[in-house]
Amino acid sequence: MALPQDSYEARELQWQLYTKTGNQRMQANLYHEAQQAYHQAWELAEWLLEKAEKNATHPDAIHLYVVSCHNLADNWLTLGDAQQAEMILRKAFDRVIQIMTDKGSSNPRRLEAFKALKAISFEIDSFYRKLGQIARAEQTFERAITLAQDFLAQFEFPRIVSLKYRQQNHSSER
């Protein structure tokens, strides 16, 4: 059964194809062709993210967006445009934070954004370290850690009872 061309699933498959094409072009050192494929994948990822937000579906759409931004940034850096690469990575970082901190979003969406924060934080850290900008790398990572802690503080987690304590009580009941 064929998928409707404008369905989320069909567009996600297109995203996968453009991403794979971009990866193959990068491996073949065809950087401008890779950039075209990555840009198309990024546009689809933006569409998928917007569609997921609008319909309150596919909470994991943020990951496609982060991957697309990473690929485009890596390509820009390979082509020697660090400023463009930084702009793309910052855009992904800001989008992840926006979703994660949006209390109007569903918890599954916010949790996926929390997971994506780890990936984009490591990407930005690596980017700045490649450029020798250690202070900026550390500053961004510290911000991500603070945001993650603030995010987790919003939820109540069950208290974890020491396994040793439970074993002692369990064995004394025998």
The total number of structural domains that make up the chain: 1
Query: What pLDDT digit, counting tens, does each position of 114-156 carry?
Result: 999 999 999 999 999 999 999 999 999 999 999 999 998 887 7
Position 147 in a domain? yes
Position 136 in a domain? yes
Classified as helix, coil or strand, 149 is: helix
Query: What pLDDT digit, counting tens, does each position of 83-112 carry?
Result: 999 999 999 999 999 999 998 888 899 999
In this prediction, residue 56 carries a pLDDT of 85
Q: What is the DSSP string of 75-135?
A: HHHHTT-HHHHHHHHHHHHHHHHHHHH-TTS-HHHHHHHHHHHHHHHHHHHHHHHHTT-HH
Query: What pLDDT digit, counting tens, does each position of 43-98 carry?
Result: 999 999 999 988 889 999 999 999 999 999 999 999 999 999 999 999 999 999 99
Give the domain range for residue 42. Answer: 8-172
Position 2 in a domain? no
Position 23 in a domain? yes
In this prediction, residue 3 carries a pLDDT of 59
Position 3 in a domain? no
Residue 96: CATH number of its domain:
1.25.40.10
In the chain, pLDDT over 70 holds for what percent of residues?
Answer: 87
In this prediction, residue 154 carries a pLDDT of 86
